[in-house]
Chains A and B, each alone.
Chain A
């Protein structure tokens, strides 16, 4: 599986990440008619359109997979605000429809006219790795010729409190950002090397709650057509004595 293009939006410590600031998010919103969409969606769409720049992804030949731990929880909580603050029959429909995890994928689909298999995944045990493995299965199975995989996490009330609520499990500093890879089995589309996935668990610090190690993103920054990039699945949290069932 080859990396045809890539994009990383993120914090300053993310290697090679494009800066994610208010101006950039505003530009994304304006360019892709995201007036009603939330911040999480803007992140996903922004990363997707950058990764797809210059590549013909429209139509049925491209699959789209999004991956996140917490998803659009800012919007989920906005829906709860409506329930707490207003009569039950007056909550805003747009908030509810945008709190669904696959709303962001739908916006990407509309923006890029992607009509292939579109799937939104959620998980806390390296869903980024799982999404890339799913992309490989979709490509191998002939369901698409290219797969656009986007991992994203927004910073909001829940991620800001995650460490306080479970200090052993979540790092003190949540990182907001998005990563996107456009993948293909066609060697002619290899611009950043071959991506290999290794389910052997890897230790080491992660960069985002959705997964992917810092080491992986550093390698991605340096990736070139002749190279091989290996992503190992991050060791799942084992509970530190707490039952996980």
Chain B
């Protein structure tokens, strides 16, 4: 039996580039937004971020802003895939959502009460439990399939898409909802600042003078479907998840392996599972956070696999690092770039670096190529690669 091609029947995206796929489609090729100091929460840190000021719709669901972001992207993805609540109810549909923030009860006023022995607000605790993203989606649509919330730090969103593609490929389910969502709040901002990886300027991935990352927030959701299910529903699919590569460095709790051995394994695994040679990849949407360590290791690894013809960019200079959402959003950006037959340039890149063997794209790149690769790296030496294809 051949490998089942895993189709993308719909997607939804919310980030600083755009709220909704139409806005994202336009925003990807427009001048990028500039990060600014946070407005939704108080902080003394003068670190620019890519914040989403407001969302359409009514707030107040369990899980807070992360879940509002997720709900918006989810509703859009389901609409595009032509799926309704009635159609989904009771079906064996898998749900796999990546997040970092939603897995932690980091509500500061709640904790201040709890540790002081005062009556902590029950609703904050209940909202956290109810707001486990994948379980929330399964309950909302009364689904019967697996529901996994992946909390694998910055690869979570990419992992979720990869796992859901495996479910389809292995026949666990015919339809899956996958993606990632994360809000920006004081805890990750303070934490990433403590780690010394935030830049006080707009980030400049792969630049010689890069000085760190800007945090962002957002959500990306894709609907993955088997050919049989899409045919039964009469749905056309424009993209496929061709390959999924996943490996661990087993090296360090926060630093990537200096030679990128785990990343290289994930990239080669994704290519192999898609049946592709490196030459078939038109461009790579790299993790490219703008930190010295990540960009050095990633650029050197990609150059080793793809050679001097490598075309790549990081879109984090347009969205910031959206943590658990990043991998899912960047997968969707790959789809939109393949659709537009144009890969966006690496905004913020100015100065070549000796340690970056092949420079990223300095201009938008026209391409008829059918395949792109999205890479994600995370704390703990987690590496993920997704091969995404445009169906002719």
Give the interface of A toward B (CB within 8 A). 36, 60, 64, 70-71, 73, 76-77, 79-84, 87-89, 91-93, 96-103, 105-107, 109-110, 112-125, 127, 130, 133-134, 137-138, 140-141, 143, 157-158, 161-162, 165-166, 169, 199, 236, 242, 244-245
Give the segment of B150-158, B225-233, B336-344, B368-376 that binds chain A: B150-158
Q: Which residues of the partner chain A approach B248 to less than 8 Å between Cβ atoms?
A: 64, 105-106, 109, 114-118
Q: Which residues of the partner chain B approach A109 to less than 8 Å between Cβ atoms?
A: 248-250, 380-381
Closest 7 CB pairs of A and B: A106-B380, A96-B191, A101-B151, A117-B246, A118-B248, A93-B194, A109-B250
CA distance A71 to B249 in the complex (A): 22
B40 within 8 A of A: no
Q: Which residues of the partner chain A approach B149 to less than 8 Å between Cβ atoms?
A: 121-123, 127
B293 within 8 A of A: no
Residues A245 and B151 in contact, CB atoms below 8 Å apart: no
Instruction: Report B115-165 residues with CB < 8 Å from chain A CB.
Output: 115, 120, 122, 125-126, 129-130, 132, 134-136, 138-140, 144, 146-153, 159, 163
Residues B187 and A119 in contact, CB atoms below 8 Å apart: no
A88 with B43: in contact, given A64-B248, A81-B115, A115-B247 (CB under 8 Å)? Answer: yes
Q: Which residues of the partner chain B approach A140 to less than 8 Å between Cβ atoms?
A: 170
Residues A166 and B122 in contact, CB atoms below 8 Å apart: yes
Residues A166 and B166 in contact, CB atoms below 8 Å apart: no
Q: Which residues of the partner chain B approach A100 to less than 8 Å between Cβ atoms?
A: 100, 151, 153, 379-380
13 A-B pairs, CB-CB below 8 angstroms? Answer: A60-B265, A64-B248, A96-B190, A99-B191, A103-B379, A106-B380, A123-B134, A133-B172, A134-B146, A143-B246, A242-B126, A245-B136, A245-B140
CA distance A157 to B117 in the complex (A): 11
CA distance A80 to B112 in the complex (A): 8
Give the interface of B toward A (CB within 8 A). 43-45, 61-62, 100, 103-106, 108, 111-112, 114-115, 120, 122, 125-126, 129-130, 132, 134-136, 138-140, 144, 146-153, 159, 163, 166-167, 169-170, 172, 186-187, 190-196, 246-254, 262, 265, 378-382
Using a Cβ cutoff of 8 Å, how many contacts connect chains A and B?
211
CA distance A124 to B106 in the complex (A): 17
A123 with B147: in contact, given A106-B253, A245-B130 (CB under 8 Å)? Answer: yes
Choose among A93, A102, A116, A199 the residue that contacts B153 (Cβ–Cβ < 8 A): A102
Residues A118 and B380 in contact, CB atoms below 8 Å apart: yes
A150 shortest CB reach to chain B, Å: 14
CA distance A99 to B148 in the complex (A): 20
